[in-house]
Structure 1
Amino acid sequence: MPATVAGSPASYGPNLRALAAYLLVFQHIPIERSAQLITDLTGANVSTGWVSGVLGQAAEAVADSLKLIRALLTLGHVPHADETTTRIGGGRRWLHVACTERLTLLGLGPRSREGANGLGVLPEFRGVVVHDSLALYDGYPDARHQLCGEHLIRELTAAAEDHPDERRPLQVRWALAELNKQAKKATDQGLADIAPERALVCLESFHHEAAVGLSLHPRAPGRKQSPTRNLLERLRHRSADVLRFADLPGLVPSTNNTGERVLRPVKT
């Protein structure tokens, strides 16, 4: 009997355990369906209890690797952060992620700074973190920020639809899209900066149109403002965090797509 197989009536080797962990953790297939899939493909009549038990074994096996991933993300330059809901045991839970193209750390927690802190990355992080505009990420003053341009583009498109008589949202959207195009062009050409003449045109359009938009949408009494006003204030007050990708082309991405791709299988 191989040393890797325990002496019990239903013992399976490391390859089958690895397959079970892969189906559960990477492909997000439920336990019962994973057991059925393993039986159908391999002929091993595994139980749901056995499949569930593999998770604990896998967690022990990767504990040191998780510590290394956490340290590398904390010491890195540009991680992505995101969050989404998932259902566990019939209840709704929040899943947080900190990741790069090569490193991923996931953790359950509340939809709050405490939940994001549970990953053990952002509290000590000192680089540029890419994220959406969720307020919890504002609580990391030692980090620099890049707000997801894809989210901003969608919000600007919605503002244009809400106010079809205004061209300001479309002009700001054009400026962001053009800056992103120029940043990619500079990166492809091995340049450290966007061509100054193109950057000037885009930046002037961005700031001017945002300022005019604010004048057309004055603040309403009280704290609650319209989505368009909130968006325009964010573009003005956090312009450095919106446009950081243009200052550092090739180093800071303009979108949080990497973080969203990691979470998408959970939603699917």
Structure 2
Amino acid sequence: MPGEVAGSPSSYGPSLRALAVCLLVFQHIPVERTAILLKDATGMEVSTGWAACLLTEAAGLVAGPLHLIRALLPTGHILHADETTTRIGNVRRWLHVACTGFLTLLHTAPRSRKGAGAGGVLPHYRGVLVHGSLSLYAGYSSCTHQLCGAHLIRELTAAGEGFPGQKRHQQIRWALAGLNRQAARVRHGETTEITPGPLLHYEAFHQGIRAGLSLHPKMPGRKQSPARNLLIRLHDQAHDVLRFADDPRHVPFTDNCGQRTLRPVHSDRSRPS
């Protein structure tokens, strides 16, 4: 009898166990559906309890690689960070990711700076951190930042739809999209730098912010309109918005790497505790 099989009537080999863990962890398929899929695909009628217990076994096997991933991620020039919600049992939890194109670390923790750093990567990072505009990431001052351009484009589009008579949000969006096209040309080797012509996009970006703030002056009290808050963020964090254009060979425009990692768990699903 193979050593991987325990010997009880309900024991299964390493290939089936590995497939079950892949479906549960990598494909984010709920336990009950995993058991159904295994039966349909392999003919093996496994129990949901057996499938759920595999996660504990797998966690022990990957402890060593996880330590290595935690050690390697802070050494990179570019790091992506993102967060979303998931369900573990009946509890809604925040899932955080720190990743590159080759390494990924996921952990659950509260949606806070301390929670994002609980994975053991962000507090030690010194490169360029690519993320959305959540203030919790701004607390990591030992690294530089690139705010996700895709998030900003969506916010600018929504702001423009809210004020159809104003063109400043569209102007800023146009400037960011133009700079992104030029940065992509540099990365693809079509040119060596962002050429003088597209430098007009920089001026359009800053001029659009100044004009937009004049149309959305500060109101009494702490609470301001979403349109003004967006413009203030673009003004105060302009370097972190435009870093992709300052270093087009290395810094990406978006946090797509982090978002793709979390996409399978964006919908709430019941997970084993």
TM bucket by the smaller chain?
A: over 0.9
Structure 1 runs of 4+ with >3 Å offset: none
Deviation at 1:6, TM superposition (A): 1.3
Question: Structure 2, unaligned stretches of length 5 or more?
Answer: 268-273
CA offsets 1:168-214 (integer angstroms, 9 cap, x no match): 1111100000000000011212655311332x201011111111111
Question: Structure 1, unaligned stretches of length 5 or more?
Answer: none
Q: Partner residue of 1:163?
A: 163
Verify the 8 A CA contact 1:193 1:248 in the aligned structure 2: no
Paired letter, 2:28: H
Paired letter, 2:13: G
Alignment partners' CA distance in 1, 2:33 and 2:261: 22
Q: Partner residue of 1:207?
A: 206
Alignment partners' CA distance in 2, 1:181 and 1:191: 12
Deviation at 1:40, TM superposition (A): 2.0
Q: Partner residue of 1:59?
A: 59
**Structure 2 counterpart SS, 1:157:** helix
Q: Partner residue of 2:235?
A: 236
Alignment partners' CA distance in 1, 2:40 and 2:238: 55
Alignment partners' CA distance in 1, 2:192 and 2:147: 21
Question: TM-score, normalising length from structure 1?
Answer: 0.97
- RMSD (Å) for aligned C-alpha atoms: 1.2
Alignment partners' CA distance in 2, 1:123 and 1:63: 21
Alignment partners' CA distance in 2, 1:153 and 1:22: 35
Alignment partners' CA distance in 2, 1:72 and 1:45: 40
Query: What is the number of equivalent residue pairs in this alignment?
Result: 267
Paired letter, 1:230: N
After superposition, where does 1:90-101 map in structure 2 within 5 Å? 90-101=90-101
Moved more, 16-25 or 40-49: 40-49
Alignment partners' CA distance in 2, 1:210 and 1:168: 7
Deviation at 1:9, TM superposition (A): 2.0
Q: Determine what percentage of the aligned residue pairs are the same residue.
A: 61
Alignment partners' CA distance in 1, 2:35 and 2:158: 44
After superposition, where does 1:191-202 map in structure 2 within 5 Å? 191-198=191-198, 200-202=199-201
Question: TM-score, normalising length from structure 2?
Answer: 0.95
Q: Partner residue of 1:226?
A: 225
Alignment partners' CA distance in 1, 2:75 and 2:28: 29
**Structure 2 counterpart SS, 1:46:** coil
